[in-house]
Structure formats: structure tokens, C-alpha cells
Amino acid sequence: MYDRYKREINYLRISVTDRCNLRCRYCMPEEGVRLLRHEDILTFDEIVKFTESAVSMGIWKVRITGGEPLVRKGITELVGMLAGIKGIKDLSMSTNGTLLKNFAGELRKAGLQRVNISLDTTDPEQFAYITRGGNVADVIEGISAAKKAGLLPVKINCVVRESREEEDAKLVREFCARNNLEIRYIHQMDLVSGHFTTVEGGSGGNCPLCNRLRLTSNGMLKPCLFSDIGFNIREISYREAIEKAVEMKPASGMVNHKDNFYNIGG
């Protein structure tokens, strides 16, 4: 399927939860967040049936995101259900990696193909500061477990304030070089002010080539990360929601006053 700007839309990012076991300063506010009620979160059945519709219309690349997807109870079962959908050629997950050592093997068996893991520094104190209490050793163990399980390639998402020359980013770059990992630099974004740049080493934020739709954990189909537009898949048919989202996809991102990174999955 193509949008008004002749961009092929073939990539669906699915946020399966707004919850996370970390509290990264650029994502979660100090005062914490008002979490969605259980009944507001899409069921596995809804996610799978929606994705089947999306695949029948041209989606073949699916990314599972959060919050932190590994805190969603039964996540391996959901991965297995999605992996069973004929037509998905690329099934991946974005994770903070802290729980991955416990899940990598079973996720691979369930059909997950690869992972993107967040790592903004390898300095334990800095990591604990950025994540408000996380342990970088858990992420490093998660990366090893992902490689061992065959969730390849493992790509590292490194959030930077201004540039890849920041000390923390240099540490991550050296770590990736030593461990044969692909690194991408994601400049801090601001949904409200509409500040964002293209992901260095990736395709995110490159509006003229944008190929993605996003499904939030409470069932809003978003044509664009930096837009207030969204269609509730519990109110209209899945097909109609997808058609409307593709039709209403903006040429480029503007601002988003409705969502937060932790419920839209970046």
C-alpha cells in the first residue's frame, strides 16, 4: 500500500504495553506516569487479528515495542502468535535488554528474528543515573543472551543529547566495536515541540522515506509519531483504520500533544 506521497507503507510498530521497568529521564517524567487501565490495553487476540489485517494490506515488517515489551505477561506467547502470521518477513523487538537474559532463547524459539537494544552508556553510574536506577550489567548480559540465542543482528540504539561525540556515546561505540554490534544514534526528541532528527545508522525520522504506522498499547493507530492523528481500532474496522491512517499520513512530522514515548513505542 502507498500513501499520498507515493511512500510504500510496509512497517507496523506495535506497542504492547505502556509499562517499563526503567525510568529513563528523557522518556519518563520524574513524577511517574498515569498508567493505562488493564481493560484499555489491547488483548493478544486484538493485536494478532489487527496485524493479520495489516499484513493482508501490505505490511511485512513488524516491530514489537513498549514501554518495555518484556514486562508484558505472556510476551513469548504473543511473539509466537505473530510469528505464525504468513506474510511477516521481519519480526523484531525493541527492548531495554534488562530482562532479555531470561527470555532470549524462548523468544527465538517462538519466532522472533532480531532485537534492537537500548544502551546509552556502559558506565554503571551514568547508566543508573539516566535510567533512574537501572543496572547496565543486566543489559550487557541481555546482549550476550540475544547473540547466543541467534536473535541477529543485534542493533544497539544509543540515545544522545546532541551528538555521537558525547562521552557516553563513545563508550557505547567502543563496546559495539569490541562486540561486533551495529550502533544507531537516536537524538533526543520532543513530541510537544516537534523536535526530531533522522536516526543515524537507521531509517527513523526520515520523513520522505517513511514506511511506518504505529499501534499504541491502547489501540490507537497512528500514521505518524509527530502527529495528533490517530484511529481507534476498537471503534472502526481494522481495514478502515489502516486505510484512514495511510490516507492521513502527513508528508512529515509536526507535533504530538496526545502521546508519550512510553505508550507509543518511539
For binding to ligand SF4 (CB under 6 A), which residues are involved?
205-207, 210, 212, 224-226, 252-253
* Contact status, residue 234 vs residue 219, Cβ threshold 8 Å: yes
Smallest distance, Å, CB 129 to ligand SF4? 28
Residue with Cβ nearer ligand SF4 (97 or 253): 253
Residue with Cβ nearer ligand SF4 (229 or 236): 229
Collapse the DSSP code of 125 into the 3-class scheme (helix H, G, I; strand E, B; otherwise coil) and give the result: helix
Smallest distance, Å, CB 198 to ligand SF4? 8
* Contact status, residue 133 vs residue 23, Cβ threshold 8 Å: yes
Smallest distance, Å, CB 206 to ligand SF4? 6
Residue with Cβ nearer ligand SF4 (97 or 204): 204
What single string gives the DSSP state of each residue in 32-90? ---PPPGGGSPPHHHHHHHHHHHHHTT--EEEEESS-GGGSTTHHHHHHHHHTSTT--E
Smallest distance, Å, CB 230 to ligand SF4? 12
Closest CB to ligand SF4 belongs to which residue? 253
Residue with Cβ nearer ligand SF4 (81 or 233): 233
Residue with Cβ nearer ligand SF4 (126 or 252): 252
* Contact status, residue 112 vs residue 93, Cβ threshold 8 Å: yes
d(CA 32, CA 24): 11
d(CA 34, CA 117): 25
Write the DSSP symbol of residue 198: P
Smallest distance, Å, CB 254 to ligand SF4? 8
